[in-house]
Chains A and B, each alone.
Chain A
Amino acid sequence: MTDVVGGSIPNGKTQTLTRRRFIQAVGAVGGAAAAFSALSAWGQFAEAKQTEPPPLEGDASGKSVVILGAGPAGLVAGYELSKRGYQIQIIEADYRVGGHVFTARRGARTHELGGEEQVCDFDEGQWFDAGAWRIPYVHRGVHHYMREFQIPTIHHTDLNMNAFAYMSGIRGPLNERPVRIREIVVDMRGYTSELLAKAISQDLLDLELTEEDRDAFVDYLIDLGLLSSDDLTYQPNVARGWSGLDLAGLQREVPTAPFPLQDLLPFVQVSGDLTPLGNLLHQPVMTKPAKGMSQIYEEGFQPRVADHLLLESEVREIRQSDTGVEIVYVDKPSGETRTTTADYCISTIPLSVLSRMPRVDVSGPTLEAIRGSAYAIVGKLGLQFKRRFWEEDDWIYGGLTFTNNPAIGTISYPTWDYHTEKGVIQAYYNFGNAAAEVSALSLQERIEVALDFGSKIHPQFREEYDGKGFSVAWHRMPYAMGGWAGWSNYARENYYPRLLEPDGRIYFAGDFISQIPGWMEGAIQSAWMQIEKLHERAMQSG
């Protein structure tokens, strides 16, 4: 990336405004908050490099691969290899495919380690994604398979200007007050633009811009910030809110008054921008399958590898020799210990689980690499409501409400089945220590946490709650043991590269062996990379 700010800064022959200088200049006028949100525009990474599976040319018939785990990486590897003639087996410990992709619908089951068994009792047709739940447009591998399998696709959005933001523990009158995201965003764009426009038009910033470009910049700020072109003051229109809206009658729309800047600053210092525009992976519009993320794996992959898929089969040992691999697993329904062999193995078992397996025949450095990642504490809860009050009363159609309560994180509204009777809200999505604390509670207690807090924003929460909730604490799920891998810089440098290469005949694939742990695309790209390596070797060995 060049050192020049985005696309909004002139970069033609008069280009002299560097990123550093721009930020210094913004900082000098608008204060730290403005400078920080300018910096956030650089949060850009992780565009999918490969957009389709590797070609894998040559005849692979007679060669065999055993794949451990039927999440996205395992299913992609199994499906692609089987298409090329490999004899494959996929061994999955859970009763379902998908791994960290888990659409919670009626009958879905979990049993957290040391916890109660949950069976989802949502009404037929009601659901939420308790694991992966939104697909960035840059994640071409996921979209490749959704297209190939013709999975019905809908929008997901993080940004809903009419959803709420609720900040606690801040100075001023906006403390513990649900405000519409648009009120914050439009006001801050207005004030920031006003400051910049005034400073630029009075030539206070020492910008090396031509007069023509300065005018263009000010014109843009007038548009961006809803500024009066007469005196460059922020003059909001109804974009921030309105009173007395009477569209068919005589009365004209009346914009609501902006919050004073000094009331907003403590709020935005904590909330940040509230739009995901500066984060490539969260920018609008994201997508998802129409009936939940599991569709990709249960309806797309599973029928295509069904003959080679073993569910409820818990791997206990991964053995290898110079000539092949041997997997010892327990068939859970019968309790029998069984063994299977293959030429190669691809393990997609999360490192948090693999590091506790009784026997894995790998070298010391590989083992150390397996143990070298920490896993994230992550929890989610879905609540079924009798009435879609967020749509009927609050005019919220999808998107997220943001809080700074770490036990809650965000509250997410469904982007499906609008205007129907009932719906499921993702009532918390939490991380870290707060997620650990909440996960120490029973399901009923977790629901109480969500109802208590949700009621501060939506007073309808308790009354409309339909008595049905389902939650997952990923760090307590026996076959996940964490939401996703968290590689420290040290581990990323010293351990991660080791796992990109096979150890003998054992290959590793999964979102945890990618630059984007916790995203399905990481799992798919990782699987594509590893099957290409494996295939090249298998072809050479004749």
Chain B
Amino acid sequence: MSHTRQRQLALLAIATLALLAVVVPGLGVAQEASPEVAAPSEAELIAQGEQIYTSICVSCHRPEGAGVMREGIGGIPALAGNPFVTIEDPRPVVQTVLNGRAGMPSFRGFSDEQIAGVVSYIRQAWGNQASAVDPAVVAEVREQFSAPPPEPATPIGWTGTPESATPAADGTPAEPEEPGGAVPAGVTPIPTLGQ
């Protein structure tokens, strides 16, 4: 990967966070929390997650987590009532949000708390009933997939929809998550040139 591209990706990740700080009240505060400030409560995490959902995730997964199913071609999966979202072990869904999968984009630019918040939110909204996710679990999954796993990904069978399958080890964008101090906090760098 070129230096230019690496820089662009790093800056894009920060751009994302900076935008969130503007668009989603409260997120900026969480980003800049000093060590003395207590970690957010579960309710605060979920409230943060709801804000992320309603500004970003909603564009595809729609209000009420309804998704957009299209007969025969899959479409965008519903999150309400989706067992992939609510199974006891939250790591597969955390991993999907972090790395992307089957066409879903990667959201690694979000912090552990933000991902914990949004996954907790979708596990408990719209009638879903599952436990909230601790940011430490996100950190663990992030770390796990930051290095190639020792074994090749476990093949999985064709089961109809990707959402009902257990994801195998997935990829990890290797771009740095911090800009290396290139841009001051709170400033949005110029986005990538694109294709």
Contacts and interface: CB of A to CB of B under 8 A. Distances in A.
A437 B173 CA distance: 22
A167 B171 contact: no
Interface residues of A, number: 92
Given A114-B68, A406-B15, A374 B195 contact: no
A45 B6 CA distance: 13
Interface stretch (B31-39, B41-49, B126-134, B160-168): B160-168
Contact of A353 (B16, B103, B171): B103
Contacts of A330: 72
B189 A404 contact: yes
A279 B101 CA distance: 29
Interface in A357-401: 357-360, 363-365, 367-368, 370-378
A488 B1 CA distance: 11
A252 interface: no
Contacts of A97: none
A119 interface: no
Contact of A43 (B3, B20, B174): B3
Nearest to B145: A490
B62 interface: yes
A437 B57 CA distance: 8
Contact of A518 (B68, B173, B195): B195
Interface string A455-488: 0000000000000000001011010011110111
Contacts of B101: 371-372, 374
Interface stretch (A63-71, A304-312, A425-433): A425-433
Interface string B83-97: 000000000000000
Contact of A488 (B56, B68, B74, B99): B99
Contact of A433 (B56, B167, B173, B194): B56
A158 B195 CA distance: 11
B193 interface: yes
A317 to B, nearest CB: 9
A91 to B, nearest CB: 13
B75 interface: yes
Nearest to B168: A368
A143 interface: no
A45 B62 CA distance: 39
Interface in A405-453: 405-407, 409-410, 429-434, 436-437, 439-440
B70 A364 contact: no
Contacts of A409: 191, 194
A372 B191 contact: no
B136 interface: no
Contact of A432 (B15, B62, B73, B153): B15
B86 to A, nearest CB: 20
Contacts of A45: 2
Contact of A368 (B59, B109, B155): B155
Contacts of B109: 432-433
A491 interface: yes
A44 interface: yes
B4 to A, nearest CB: 3
A436 B2 contact: no
Contact of A403 (B4, B152, B172, B190): B190
Nearest to A433: B16
Interface stretch (A213-221, A265-273, A295-303): A265-273
Contacts, number: 236
B29 interface: no
B150 interface: no
User: Which of B59, B104, B153, B173 has the most A CB atoms < 10 Å from its CB?
Assistant: B59
Given A44-B2, A440-B55, A356 B187 contact: no
Interface stretch (A34-42, A76-84, A242-250): A34-42
A164 interface: no
Contacts of B58: 440
Contacts of A93: 73
B19 to A, nearest CB: 5
A493 interface: yes
A404 B190 contact: yes
A316 interface: yes
Nearest to A496: B171
B153 A494 contact: yes
B100 A367 contact: no
Contacts of B172: 488-490
A531 interface: no
B82 interface: no
Interface in B140-195: 145, 148, 152-153, 155-158, 160-162, 167-168, 170-174, 182-184, 186-195
Given A377-B105, A403-B190, A405-B188, A169 B18 contact: yes
Nearest to B190: A404
A113 interface: yes
B177 to A, nearest CB: 13
Contacts of B103: 350-353, 355-356, 373-375, 481-482
A434 B70 contact: no
Contact of A372 (B3, B57, B68, B170): B170
B136 to A, nearest CB: 22
A367 B145 contact: no
User: Which of B15, B182, B193 has the most A CB atoms < 10 Å from its CB?
Assistant: B193
Shortest Cβ-Cβ A-B pairs, 8 listed:
A374-B100, A356-B74, A352-B103, A364-B155, A43-B4, A491-B171, A518-B195, A488-B171
20 contacts: A42-B3, A113-B70, A114-B68, A168-B188, A269-B182, A272-B7, A276-B193, A355-B162, A358-B74, A364-B156, A372-B171, A375-B105, A431-B12, A432-B109, A433-B56, A434-B16, A440-B56, A486-B106, A489-B172, A495-B153
Given A371-B102, A486-B105, 6 more contacts: A282-B193, A358-B160, A406-B18, A434-B15, A478-B73, A490-B145
Interface of B: 2-5, 7, 12, 15-16, 18-20, 23, 55-60, 62, 68, 70, 72-76, 99-107, 109, 145, 148, 152-153, 155-158, 160-162, 167-168, 170-174, 182-184, 186-195
Interface of A: 32, 36, 39-40, 42-45, 93, 113-114, 132, 158, 167-171, 269-272, 276, 278-279, 282, 314, 316, 330, 350-353, 355-360, 363-365, 367-368, 370-378, 402-407, 409-410, 429-434, 436-437, 439-440, 473, 475-476, 478, 481-484, 486-495, 517-519
